[in-house]
């Protein structure tokens, strides 16, 4: 997929392999609880999930960081667990505790169906269209989904756990059952991401927040292979689609991940040396990352120094400045403003 006609998006130029100075910047979870305008929209919606499925309010929330900070990309406001909901699983959010699902077993996996999935996800796609209509061509719109392994961990445990042991145990005891769940998520994710691109997203990101708990063999089987299938499937539907992969904690196999999935950019977390990753990848793909979110909370000279180190490490390379994971609720707005000023020189 070529950049849209008339685009001046720095992010899309980077995803096409161009080194841009200063680099484009956006932040994972940039629309969220640290912004008073987000809290007002959530209160109006009534709950987090209601907000995700309210196109008018979700579009407004998606646009808030662009309007306040002038970041180079908006990312769709939604949640990785809308896929289980689209597959017919119950999903709700406990205040202050996060997502909850009815834990799925072998019988539940066998009963999964995509019937009605497109109708359940229609409000999210309307949000994409609304946002794209309000963005200038200099600002990219990023859609997203959760990677199959990460989504499966929540479906099996019914919630997030410390080390995602329930999913790892099922994969060890009944790999064929676990593989069947992964297959359902892969198929649904291809449809979902392709539909986002068709609705107006310029690129999509696949979040594998829990890939770091896998063994090297598990990482190949449950992270690389399913994400590779998603990338291939999306590009069959939307030729040239731009895809960012974010396999958190997967630096030990980053070259394999990039080579076998075919992503246009790979996100890395703050535990990774950008110098080392840049040398290992040798220009195979753009990089995205990797400021520690706690340094954004800290602010001041320590934030400036960290930003300067990242920019120096990636000078002359296709690079998207971001955090190494999502922005946290206690982040001061002034520190986000400081970060953007520093990145842009």
DSSP category for residue 221: I
How long, in residues, is the chain? 345
For residue 42, indicate whether it is catalytic. Answer: yes
Q: What string of DSSP letters covers 108-145? A: HHHT---TTHHHHHHHHHHHHHHHHHHS-TTSEEEEEE
The residue from 38, 154, 251, 269 that is catalytic is 154
Nearest residue to 20 (alpha-carbon basis) of 299, 345, 244: 345
* Runs of H (alpha helix) within the chain: 10-15, 36-45, 48-52, 55-69, 82-86, 106-110, 117-134, 148-157, 165-173, 175-199, 216-219, 225-237, 254-261, 274-281, 293-298, 300-313, 333-343
User: What is the rounded CA–CA span in Å between residue 92 and residue 69?
Assistant: 31
For residue 255, indicate whether it is catalytic. Answer: no
The two tokens of residue 134 are 């309000």
For residue 79, indicate whether it is catalytic. Answer: yes
Contacts of 254 (CB under 8 A, 6+ apart): 247, 266, 268, 272, 277, 280, 281
* CB contact at 8 A, 144 and 207: yes
Query: Does an H or E element contain 271, and which?
Result: none
The residue from 34, 72, 79, 269 that is catalytic is 79
For residue 132, indicate whether it is catalytic. Answer: no
> What phi, psi does 216 have (nearest 5°)?
-55, -40
For residue 29, indicate whether it is catalytic. Answer: yes
The residue from 13, 29, 89, 168 that is catalytic is 29
Residue 31: helix, strand or coil by DSSP? coil
Nearest residue to 179 (alpha-carbon basis) of 210, 148, 145: 148
The residues that are catalytic are 29, 33, 42, 79, 154
């Amino acid at each position: 997929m070529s950049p849209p006609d008339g685009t001046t998006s720095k992010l899309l130029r980077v995803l096409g392999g161009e080194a841009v100075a200063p680099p484009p910047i956006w932040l994972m979870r940039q629309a969220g609880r640290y912004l008073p305008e987000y809290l007002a929209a959530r209160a109006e919606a009534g709950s987090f999930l209601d907000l995700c499925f309210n196109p008018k309010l979700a579009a407004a929330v998606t646009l808030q960081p662009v309007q306040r900070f002038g970041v180079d990309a908006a990312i769709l406001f939604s949640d990785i667990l809308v896929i289980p909901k689209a597959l017919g699983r119950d999903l709700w959010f406990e205040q202050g505790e996060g997502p909850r699902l009815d834990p799925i077993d072998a019988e539940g996996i066998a009963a999964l169906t995509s019937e009605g999935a497109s109708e359940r996800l229609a409000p999210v796609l309307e949000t994409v269209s609304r946002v794209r209509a309000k963005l200038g061509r200099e600002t990219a719109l990023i859609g997203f989904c959760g990677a199959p392994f990460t989504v499966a961990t929540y479906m099996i445990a019914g919630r997030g756990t410390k080390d995602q042991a329930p999913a790892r145990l099922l994969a060890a005891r009944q790999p064929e059952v676990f593989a069947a769940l992964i297959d359902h998520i892969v198929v649904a994710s291809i449809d979902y991401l392709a539909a986002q691109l068709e609705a107006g997203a310029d690129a999509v990101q696949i979040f594998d927040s829990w890939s770091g708990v896998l063994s090297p063999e598990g990482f190949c089987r449950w992270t690389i292979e399913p994400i590779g299938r998603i990338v291939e499937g999306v590009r069959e539907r939307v030729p040239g689609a731009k895809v960012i992969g974010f396999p958190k904690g997967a630096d030990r196999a980053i070259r394999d991940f990039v080579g076998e999935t075919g992503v246009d950019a790979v996100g890395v977390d703050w535990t990774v040396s950008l110098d080392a990753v840049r040398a290992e990848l040798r220009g195979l793909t753009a990089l995205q990352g990797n400021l520690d979110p706690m340094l954004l909370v800290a602010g001041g000279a320590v934030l400036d120094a960290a930003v300067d180190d990242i920019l120096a490490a990636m000078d002359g390379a296709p690079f998207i400045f971001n955090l190494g994971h999502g922005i946290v609720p206690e982040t001061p707005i002034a520190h986000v403003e400081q970060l953007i000023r520093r990145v842009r020189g």
